[in-house]
Amino acid sequence: MGCESSKLASCCWTGESGPIHEAQNPDEEKNEVSDSPAFCEFTFEQLRIATSAFAVENIVSEHGEKAPNVVYKGKLENQRPVAVKRFNRSAWPDSRQFLEEARAVGQLRNNRLANLLGCCCEGDERLLVAEFMPKETLAKHLFHWDTQPMKWAMRLRVALYIAQALEYCTGKGRALYHDLNAYRILFGEDGDPRLSCFGLMKNSRDGKSYSTNLAFTPPEYLRTGRITPESVIFSFGTLLLDLISGKHIPPSHALDLIKDRNLEMLTDSCLEGQLSTDDGTELVRIASRCLQYEPRERPNLKSLVTALYPLQKESEVPSHVLMGISCDGETMPLSPLGEACLKTDLTAIHEILEALGYKDDGGAATELSFQMWTDQMLETLNSKKKGDVAFKNKDFSAAIECYTQFIDVGTMASPTVYARRSLSYLMSDMPQEALNDTVQAQVISPVWHIASYLQAASLFTLGRENEAQIALREAAILEEEKNASS
């Protein structure tokens, strides 16, 4: 990294035993204020609907064969987006122990956490429900960025915020965090980094605390198989290395580079011109202290927070600006269908749906080739055809009746039929029934923007303005993604 790295290399390593200098401890209680709802228990059916029957399209992360736990994006009935972690069926055989752990983690509420909102424990099913963070993981922005590398000021902010999150959890009696890494750090709509609450619980009652490469695990864990608060500090040190280097460097290799004063190999070349000598020296020194072989020689979280606080740069700049990502407050251009749903212009919606036909509905597009199956099948298809004729002629009562006959047979699942019946319900002043149909359309086709647009129209009609705006924005995003892919 040119001359900047040379200056950093000459003064960064001061030995393994130097203390971390503490600055004045900032007021952290403000981070405890959160608008997250109280922890609650969900039914499995609620979460099945929220995730569109655990659709593959809604998977946001999954682990390997040793810990096959999958995280899905979902949306509750009140339109709140959530992350739903579904455990392997063999995990947590003791339901009482699972509930106790989940309830304890669910008591935490902090703006530095992606908070746990609830859980589900029915039969063999074990699920956790957390706040959904839509702006990807630290690993994505640090290792696999598309448009711009993460700025130095943002990396320092990540370090501070995650240290604050861990300190808060420790103060609330949850000092153990399992497998802290760049995939456990998420970014909210505002671009602020949050620590995933899922790491506060093991993958299972008897599961391992670490699933990453052994080169990144604390040395005492390799000896005893147990995680301690000091182990979390070691993992935080590996996280600091990630932030400094922009790569996932094994701690032993990084320490060798530091001892040899070879920081050009350690420091991310993308930070050219951003990284000051003093800041780089201090962060490398903090990381080195966290990675001490002996647990007792590592700093505590309070000293980490107070050491990281004065390093912060561009504190007045919002995180989403530093990250170069859009924020929730920014408006998105709406398509004609979006505008019609915003204005609840049902006539315009009808014209668009009629023109669209079934071209977004793969199942319905091929069904006519199976008309000779059975008399029952022929009757079912005739019900849909009659419904389509009634819908086109704006005879919405007849459309509801015919589409209901088609749906009740249950042989074919057509999101377009649900969408058309939903609009027919709106035309018939039955907005709740219309909303129910949009949910069913989403279960069949989770990424279909039409269903989300009609959901917004139904919610606007019901007077649920805030939820309608969320659904409208989600529909616009899905439509934009569809257009981009095509």
Distance CA 200, CA 116 (A): 10
Catalytic residue among 179, 268, 388, 437: 179
Mean pLDDT of the chain: 84
Distance from the Cα of residue 136 to its chain's centroid:
6
368-389, pLDDT tens digit by residue? Answer: 444 444 555 666 678 889 999 9
Nearest to 238 by CA among 252, 219, 257, 251: 251
φ and ψ of 313, to 5 deg: -120, 150
The pLDDT assigned to 320 comes to 85
The pLDDT assigned to 23 comes to 44
Rounded to 10 degrees, what is the CA torsion of 120, 125, 129, 135? Answer: -170
| 179 is annotated as an active-site residue | yes
Nearest to 26 by CA among 314, 302, 318: 302
Rounded to 10 degrees, what is the CA torsion of 19, 20, 21, 26? Answer: -140
The pLDDT assigned to 377 comes to 60
Non-local (6+) Cβ contacts of 429 within 8 A are none
φ and ψ of 127, to 5 deg: -135, 145
What the block records as the tokens of 348 is 């315009």
Are residues 240 and 155 in contact, defined by beta-carbon separation less than 8 angstroms? Answer: no
Distance CA 362, CA 376 (A): 21
33-67, pLDDT tens digit by residue? Answer: 556 789 999 999 999 999 999 999 899 886 544 44
Q: Is the dihedral of CA 280, 25, 190, 446 positive or negative?
A: positive
The pLDDT assigned to 396 comes to 95
Distance CA 479, CA 335 (A): 9
The pLDDT assigned to 20 comes to 54
Low-confidence ranges of the chain (pLDDT < 50): 1-18, 21-27, 64-67, 363-373
% residues pLDDT > 70 (the chain): 82
Strands ordered across the beta sheet of 193-196: 113-114, 193-196, 185-187
The pLDDT assigned to 423 comes to 96
